[in-house]
Amino acid sequence: MTLELQYQLKSNPLYIKYLRENSYWYKLLNRNPQLFNNFVEEVKTNYRLRPSDRISRALEYVDMFQTIISSLK
């Protein structure tokens, strides 16, 4: 694994956490560092960090608050 790739991985705690949970990525990134973008996309997908995930989560909170307010009336 290149030093640059190691620095990128260590700069984000979520990357380290995901690597520990899915250790097969160590082998893939060691053999082919160009797969780092695929790794980042998989991290975002699994931890729900995409913009569409954030919007859907915000809408879920709004629906929950509306339900709570309507039950209080």
pLDDT of 6 reads: 93
Q: Is the pTM of this model over 0.85?
A: no
pLDDT tens track of the chain, all 73 residues?
Answer: 889 999 999 999 999 999 999 999 999 999 999 999 999 999 999 998 787 777 888 888 888 888 898 888 7
Contact 43, 50 (CB under 8 A): no
pLDDT of 31 reads: 94
DSSP string, 1-64: --HHHHHHHHT-HHHHHHHHH-THHHHHHHH-GGGHHHHHHHHHHHTT-SHHHHHHHHHHHHHH
Contacts of 43 (CB under 8 A, 6+ apart): 14, 15, 18, 49
DSSP state of 73: -
